[in-house]
């Protein structure tokens, strides 16, 4: 269960997970999208997996009891024993469902900083109604342990490797040098402003450089994208920057790039790093939380100082000047990412589901 199905990491993860499960052979799965926010292409992808899929089309913030009644009907119709919630909105509806029917409720914590933001009441409600928790990285796991969440499992997110293997190619490192960032347009976390500044610094050094930002701002946010475009103009790099919003096909933009950059200020894991590695892109990421867990600096990726556009520009310029090193890093990363296939994540999920069904 998830609140919305817009362009984002947890949404893409849910679709890939659904596609990895074989209807009629694995543990039966039912997928529910609560709010009236869903990208039509993503909705079609999820529906095409062959599992029962329900779109409750709840207007965000609406408190009409029809939504919980619809959810309870789905629970009864499919004899649901476990609800796995992938964001806080879905978790709240799962907790309400548990008031009406005994079941096991689980929650995946998809980012750092989430559990630390709960006040005492929210924490007690979570501990009372959520039976098990999945942390997507060691950084998230440490935060969960600090607040004593029960039945905690660490399961790294996965990607459908076969999909990305099909588009892998040799990187050109020609002129212009092409950078790419794939993330929600949310600089407070994702740091797109840092990368724009780094592009400006590289251009000032004479580097012929371009950068594509693939992603969309949060629903209802009309100002952030305008602010980033204004920054690009102020930094004299508007002609070097493209914002590709609403894209659901990240393979094509990744295939056209030379270097992937993740400038996040905080990040629970970094699923897009795995996708970039899988297509043979050398990656540069901020030395923070989840990405720091994935990357060995100079081996399968390059790390830069969190929040420092100057250090990021240095790392971009250095890698651009050493295409052989970049190719070596990309090869090492491609070998590294093989352990993160979505099938591994799916099997770990199923193992947890089995344990929790027995426990309940």
| pLDDT tens profile 60-117 | 788 889 999 999 999 999 999 999 999 999 999 999 999 998 999 999 999 999 999 9
Task: Write out the two tokens for 183.
Answer: 């993330």
Tell whether 214 is covered by a domain: yes
186, 146: one domain:
no
209, 220: one domain:
yes
| Total domains present in the chain | 2
Q: What pairing do the DSSP bridges indicate for beta strands 132-135 and 104-109?
A: parallel
User: Residue range 162-177: average pLDDT?
Assistant: 79
Task: Write out the two tokens for 208.
Answer: 């012929």
104, 116: one domain:
yes
Q: Can you give the residue range of the structural domain that contains 203? A: 162-339
How far does Cα 239 stand from its chain's mean position?
A: 28
For residue 165, name the pLDDT band (cuts at 50, 70, 90). confident
200, 320: one domain:
yes
226, 134: one domain:
no
Q: What is the pLDDT of residues 275-309, one digit of tens each?
A: 999 999 999 999 998 999 999 999 999 999 999 99
67, 101: one domain:
yes
194, 142: one domain:
no
197, 328: one domain:
yes
Distances (CA, A) of 102 to 79, 98, 130: 11, 5, 12
346, 290: one domain:
no
Tell whether 3 is covered by a domain: no
Tell whether 2 is covered by a domain: no
pTM assigned to the model:
0.91
Phi, psi of 181 (to 5 degrees): -130, 130
Q: Which of 165-169, 251-255, 310-314, 342-346 has the lowest mean pLDDT?
A: 165-169
Secondary structure of residue 148 in the 3-state scheme: coil
Which residues sit opposite 259 in a β-bridge? 179
Tell whether 293 is covered by a domain: yes
109, 253: one domain:
no
The pLDDT assigned to 168 comes to: 61
Tell me, what CATH number does 233's domain have? 3.40.50.2000
54, 137: one domain:
yes
209, 313: one domain:
yes
Tell whether 4 is covered by a domain: no
């Amino acid at each position: 269960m998830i609140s919305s199905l817009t362009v984002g990491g947890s949404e893409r993860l849910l679709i890939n997970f659904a596609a990895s499960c074989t209807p009629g052979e694995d543990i039966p799965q039912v997928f529910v999208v609560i709010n009236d926010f869903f990208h039509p292409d993503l909705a079609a992808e999820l529906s095409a997996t062959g599992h029962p899929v329900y779109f409750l089309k709840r207007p965000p913030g609406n408190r009409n009891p029809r939504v919980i009644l619809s959810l309870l009907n789905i629970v009864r119709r499919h004899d649901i024993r476990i609800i796995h919630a992938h964001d806080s909105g879905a978790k709240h509806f799962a907790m309400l469902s548990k008031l009406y029917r005994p079941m096991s409720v689980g929650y995946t914590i998809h980012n750092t900083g989430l559990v630390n933001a709960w006040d005492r009441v929210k924490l007690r409600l979570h501990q009372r109604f959520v039976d098990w928790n999945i942390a997507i990285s060691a950084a998230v796991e440490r935060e969960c342990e600090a607040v004593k969440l029960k039945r905690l499992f660490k399961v790294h997110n996965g990607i459908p490797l076969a999909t990305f293997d099909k588009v892998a190619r040799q990187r050109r490192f020609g002129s212009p040098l092409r950078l790419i960032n794939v993330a929600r347009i949310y600089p407070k976390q994702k740091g797109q402003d840092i990368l724009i500044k780094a592009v400006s610094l590289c251009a000032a050094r004479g580097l012929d450089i371009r950068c594509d930002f693939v992603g969309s701002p949060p629903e209802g946010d009309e100002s952030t994208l305008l602010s980033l475009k204004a920054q690009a103009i102020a930094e004299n790099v508007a002609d070097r920057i493209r914002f590709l919003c609403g894209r659901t096909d990240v393979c094509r933009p990744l295939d056209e790039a030379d270097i992937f950059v993740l400038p996040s200020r905080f990040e629970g894991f970094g699923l897009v790093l795995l996708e970039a590695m899988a297509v043979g892109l050398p990656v540069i990421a901020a030395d923070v939380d989840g990405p720091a867990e994935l990357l060995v600096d100079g081996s399968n990726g390059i790390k830069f100082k969190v929040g420092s556009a100057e250090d990021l520009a240095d790392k971009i310029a250095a890698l651009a000047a050493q295409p052989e090193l970049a190719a070596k890093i990309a090869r090492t990363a491609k070998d590294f990412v093989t352990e993160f296939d979505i099938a591994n994540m799916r099997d770990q999920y199923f193992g947890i589901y089995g344990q929790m069904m027995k426990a309940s």
